[in-house]
Structure 1
Amino acid sequence: MFTYFPENYMWSSTVVMSLMAGGQLGEMHRWLSALRSAEGNMEAWDGAWVGMATQQEELAAADLNAGHRLSAGARYARAAAYRLLGERQMPPGSDKLARYKAALDTFDAASLHAPFPIERVEVASPDGSLPGYLIPARSSEPAPTVIFYSGLDVTKELLFLFIREEFIRRGISVLAIDTPGVGAPLRLRGVPSRPDYEVPTAAIIDFLETRADVDSSRIGILGISLGGYYAPRAAAFEPRIKACVAWGGVWDYGALWTRRWETQTKNISVGFFQLKWIMGTATMEEALQRVQQYKLDGVMQRITQPLLILHGAHDLAISADDARKAYEAASSADKQLRIFSEAEGGAEHVQADEPDAARQLIADWFARRLRARTALD
C-alpha cells in the first residue's frame, strides 16, 4: 500500500481511501504534508481535512459563478469525501457530528451538479428510516438494481463515490444506503449495528418492489469490507437477493476483533473506539462480546445464489484465509474467489491501493448475473 504516513497505517489507509473516492493527491498533500513528520494529533488531522475540503468548496463556488456546473460538482464531491474521511477518524464526543453534517451539505451540492441523476430516498425499516441514494440506470424499462452496503461505518456518500457510474453504464441501478451501525442512523439516531442484516435487507427490498423503475426479480447485493459479512448474511436468509458480492472476505469478525484487541495491532483503518460505538456498547469488553455474533460459519452454507468474493493477497486488516474459508463454505453452484496479487495491484484491503480493476469486475459480474442491458446493447 502507498504509505503516505510511513509509520501510521491508519492515516495512510485514509489517504488511499480518499484516492479511491476520487480525491487528488496534490490537493491532499498541500494540507497533510506538515503532518508526516509529526506525532498523531487529532486536532491537526481535523484541521487539515477541513482545510482541504473548504478550499475545494471555495473553488467550486468560483466555478459556479463562471458557469461551470460540472466542474463545480466534481470539486464538491471531492470536498465531501475529504470531510467524511477526516471525520471518520474522530471519536464521538469531539466535533465529529458537526463535521458529518457539513459533509452532508457539501455532498448535497455535489449531487445537485452531478452529470447524472442522484435520487435521495428514505426506506422504512424496523430500525427507523434508512436514508439512501438511488442512482437509476439509463433505461426505459424496469432495471436490475444492486443494494450497496457499507463496511465498518463508511457512509452512503462514500459508497457512491467509490462506485460512481460503473453500474448505470451497464444498465444497473444502484442503491447506496446507510443501514444500522453506519452513517446517519448511527450518527443522528444512535442506531447500532445488528448481526441479522437480513432484517434491514428485507425492508429495503420491500421498498424497491414498490418502484416501477426497478425489476424486483433482479436484485443483487454488494458489501464492502465488513459489508463482506452483511451482504452474504442478507443473501443467505433473503431469497429475493439474486446475486451477491463480498468486496472483502469475512469469516469470523468476532475472532478478528479479539485478535486485534489482544495484540493492539496498528493495522486497522480506524481507532478501537469505532467498535464499541458501532456495536452500541459502553465498554470495549461488551463490544467484543457482542461482535462474536458476526460470523459466517453456518451462514455461507445457506447461500445458493451466484457469489463473488474479492480480496487482497496483502490485506493487513483481514487475512485472505478468511475469504478462502467463506468461499469454501458457500453452497453456490456459481461462485468465484478473486484474490488480487501484489504484482498486479489491488492486493490491499478492498483493493483500495488500485481499486479500478475490482470496480470493473464487480460491475461486469453483476451485469452478467442480473442480465442487464448495457448502454451499448
Structure 2
Amino acid sequence: MKNNKGLRSNVFVSITAILLGIVASFLLIALTGISPLKAFGVLLSGAFGTSGRVSPFLITLGQSTPLILTGLAAMYGFRVGVFCIAQEGQYVFGAVMAAWLGVQLHLPPYIEVPCIFIASIAAGGLYGLIPGLLKVKLGVNEIISSIMLNNIATLALEYLVAFPLRSDAGQKAQSAVLDQALWLPQFVKGSRWGVSFVIAITLVFLSYIYIWKTPGGYEMRMVGKAPLFAKYGGIKSDRVVLRTMFIGGGIAGLAGCMEILGNYHRIMTGFSSGLGFDGLSVAMLGGSHPFGVLLVAILLAGIRQGAQLGLQINLKIPRELGGVLIALIIFFVATENIYRPMVERIYDKVFNFFHRLKKNSIGNEESVK
C-alpha cells in the first residue's frame, strides 16, 4: 500500500510539473498578444487531432517511437542508480550498424532484417557497457564518461558517413538508400507510425515484466534503491549494473536501427538529432517507469508536433516554443523539492476524501442489505 501511495504521489508531482510548464509557456504566449486558450486549442489539435490527409495524432505516435526507446534506455540506467547520458552515442552506433549492414549484406529480407536488429542491439549494448565498466571498475563518473562517448560517437558518425559509407559526391554526405524490401512498413503512409511503434510498445510491456516480475528485475531494483541491502543479500551489484547497462544500450541501439529501417532508409551527416538526450527527459518525467515513459514520450512528441503544425503554421508562433515548453516542464521536475510537500499534502487530502467516500458507500450498501 505504501509503495502504491508513493507511486501515486510521484505521478501527481509529474502532472503538477507538466501543468506548471504549460502555464508558464502560455504566460509567454500572452505577452505576444495571442490568447493562451486559443494557442492551447491549436496546440492540442496540431498534436492529437484526427483531421487532415494524415492524422496529426498518428504523426505524433510515429514521432514518439524513438523517444519511447531512448526513454526506456535511460530508465534502465536510473533503475540501478547510474545516471548515464550516453543514449545519444548508443543510438548513433545502432543506426550506423543498420545502415552499413543494410548495404553490405545481401540476404533474404526475412533473414537480413533480424540480423540487422541483432547487430544494432549489440552495437548499442556494447557501447552502453563502456560507462558501466568505467564506473564499477575504475570509479569514473558516468556523466563525464557519457559526454565523452557521445562526442566520440558523433565524430565517428561524421567520418563514417563522409568516407566509408558515402554513396555519392553530392553536397551532403549520406549513405546509399537501403533496398525497399528492408524498410519497416508504415500503417499510414507519411505518418512514421508503423511496425517500429508496435515494437516499442512491446518493449514497454516486456520491460515492465522484467523489472517487476523476474529475479533479474528484483536484483536491479535492489541495487538501485538499497545497494547495502543488495550487497549483504548476496547480489553481485557490479554484474547487475553491467547487465542493465547493456540492456539499456541495446534498446537505444535498436532505436537508431528502427529510425534507419523505418524512416530515413539511409544515414547522413547530422543524423544525430538529440534523441538520446530527449530520452533522459522522458525517463525523468516518466518516473523511471515503463508506462510513464510511454505516456511522456507521446506527450513530448505531441508538444513538438503541435508547436510545428499548430502554433507555427496557424498562429505564426515559432515552433521553438515547443522546446521551451519541454524545457520548462523539465525545470519544474528538477525543482520539485520546492513544491513537492505542498503537492503531497493536497494529494493526501484528495486521496483520503475519496477513500472515506468509498468506505461510506460500502457501509451504506451493507446497511441496506
Task: Confirm or deny a common fold (TM above 0.5).
Answer: no
TM-score, length basis structure 1: 0.23
Larger Rg: 2
Q: Which has the higher helix share?
A: 2
TM-score, length basis structure 2: 0.24
The higher-RCO structure (CA 8 Å, 6+ apart) is: 2
Q: Which has the higher strand share?
A: 1
